[in-house]
């Protein structure tokens, strides 16, 4: 059980009514709170919750259209995302209770101050390195317009400007990451066919791919519903059409691909882990056609080449700059 869920269950008498659990972990919590519903923006957590509690949790970028008397937010990493989520929940709860739980190292004390916009926050519990806060929503805001919170920037690329829109909480919000910038310079000579932008974030690579290879089918994939929504905004802002899918890991990707391009994830939340990327390197071959390529950018210190060589084939370093490398390997 996630420690944040354990802290909630110490106060289970507060959570017996219709409660919306926003950003909930994929653990047993829904099983302990029969009147509660979930709202997740993580496709992997949502799939696990669906398998266990069929239909009691929904994936999306806004609170689901279900009735709830109170809501509890599991603190996300990004402050801007927290602002949006608290406002979206508070808008649905005038005169009712909004709770916030999070780990101390994830910044729960600072985040609890954000609750003061809506009423007088109270700390209810502190245990397992987590805190649980509550506020009665005395000042309910209007429902926030998520699209209006997107940050927009323009990249002056050789084939014309590209507009990128990113929603709160999305990787490299409002600016181009240096690793992605290096990969954008190395998108030439891809084999024709179906291209995948794995871990698409705001959709910058996928959009550039579609513009550069208009005859290729392009798919963008991300585990985060806010990234998926951002990618759709980015494609639309540039008049491009491509498939954007929510999914957890390479297993969710199509097969028969001619190339997989990625600035793959290498950390998540306050915990560091590489699992999604290691699985990508291990299983890319199953999603590539013969001669299909994997091309990715990674911090130079990450030891990906041995894994790539073990599971795909000889790994070439196409470029190296500013602490990043571009690796390329093909399926034989
Ligand atoms: C380093 S960012 C790159 C984003 C974007 N491609 C760019 O270049 O700006 C990695 C992305 O992978 C996504 N991600 C993390 N775990 C994932 C998983 N298991 N399956 C799919 N995408 C994942 C993250 O949400 C994030 O958007």
Structure tokens belonging to residue 222: 């991300």
- Domain chopping of the chain, boundaries: 3-136, 147-330
Tell me the per-residue pLDDT of 282-297, one tens digit each, with 9 for 90 and over: 999 999 999 999 999 9
pLDDT digits (tens, 9 = 90+) for 49-97: 999 998 999 999 999 999 999 999 999 999 999 999 999 999 999 999 9
Ligand 1 centroid distance, CA of 266 (Å): 9
Mean pLDDT of the chain: 96
Cα separation, 197 vs 177, in Å, equals: 15
Average pLDDT rounded to a whole number, residues 16-30: 97
pLDDT confidence of residue 274: 78
Please give the full DSSP string across 195-245, using - where no structure is assigned: EEEES-TTSHHHHHHHHH-TTSEEEEEESBHHHHHHHHHHHHHTT---EEE
Q: Which of 58, 36, 34 is nearest to 45 (CA)?
A: 58
Query: Is the Cβ atom of 278 under 6 angstroms away from ligand 1?
Result: no
Superfamily of domain 3-136: Vaccinia Virus protein VP39 (3.40.50.150)
| Cβ of 248 less than 6 Å from ligand 1 | yes
Class for the domain spanning 147-330? alpha beta
135 has which bridge partners? 98
Q: Give distance in angstroms: CA of 63 to centre of ligand 1.
A: 23
Place of tokens 């990787």: 171
Nearest CA to ligand 1 atom 6: 200
The verdict on the CB of residue 249 being under 6 Å from ligand 1 is yes
Domain 3-136 matches domain 147-330 at the CATH topology level: yes
pLDDT at 273: 58
Give the pLDDT confidence score for residue 266 in this predicted structure: 81
Q: Provide the pLDDT confidence category of residue 272 given band limits of 50, 70 and 90.
A: very low
- Written as six digits, the tokens of 9 are 């269950």
Q: What is the pLDDT of residues 171-187, one digit of tens each?
A: 999 999 999 999 999 99
Give the pLDDT confidence of 36-61 residue by residue, as tens digits: 999 999 999 999 999 999 899 999 99
Does residue 215 carry a pLDDT above 90? yes
pTM of the model: 0.96
How remote is the CA of residue 101 from the centroid of ligand 1, in Å? 25
pLDDT band at residue 271 using 50, 70 and 90 as cut-offs: very low
- Residue 267 has what pLDDT? 67
Contact 228, 46 (CB under 8 A): no
Evaluate if residue 270 carries a pLDDT over 80: no
């Amino acid at each position: 059980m996630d420690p944040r869920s354990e802290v909630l269950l110490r106060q289970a008498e507060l959570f017996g009514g219709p409660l919306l659990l926003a950003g909930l972990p994929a653990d047993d919590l829904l099983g302990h709170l029969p009147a509660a519903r979930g709202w997740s923006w993580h496709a992997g957590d949502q799939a696990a919750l669906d398998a266990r509690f069929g239909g009691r949790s929904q994936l999306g970028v806004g609170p689901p259209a279900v009735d709830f008397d109170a809501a509890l937010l599991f603190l996300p990493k990004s402050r801007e995302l927290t602002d949006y989520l608290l406002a979206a929940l508070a808008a649905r709860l005038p005169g009712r209770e909004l709770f916030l739980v999070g780990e101390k190292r994830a910044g729960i004390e600072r985040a609890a101050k954000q609750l003061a916009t809506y009423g007088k926050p109270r700390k209810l519990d502190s245990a397992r390195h987590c805190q649980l806060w509550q506020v009665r929503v005395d000042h309910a805001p209007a429902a926030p317009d998520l699209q209006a919170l997107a940050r927009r920037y323009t990249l002056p690329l050789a084939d014309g400007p590209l507009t990128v829109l990113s929603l709160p909480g999305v990787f490299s919000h409002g600016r181009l990451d240096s690793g992605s910038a290096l990969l954008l310079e190395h998108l030439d000579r891809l084999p024709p066919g179906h291209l995948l932008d794995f871990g698409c974030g705001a959709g910058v690579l996928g959009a550039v791919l579609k513009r550069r290879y208009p005859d290729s089918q392009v798919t963008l994939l991300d585990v985060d519903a806010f990234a998926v929504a951002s990618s759709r905004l980015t494609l639309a802002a540039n008049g491009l059409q491509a498939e954007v899918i929510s999914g957890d890991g390479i297993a969710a990707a199509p097969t028969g691909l001619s190339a997989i391009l990625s600035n793959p994830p290498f950390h998540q939340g306050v915990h560091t882990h590489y699992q999604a990327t290691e699985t990508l390197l291990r299983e890319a071959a199953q999603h590539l056609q013969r001669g299909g390529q994997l091309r990715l950018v990674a911090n130079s210190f990450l030891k990906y080449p041995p894994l790539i060589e073990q599971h795909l084939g000889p790994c070439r370093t196409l470029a190296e700059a500013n602490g990043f490398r571009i690796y390329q390997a093909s399926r034989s």
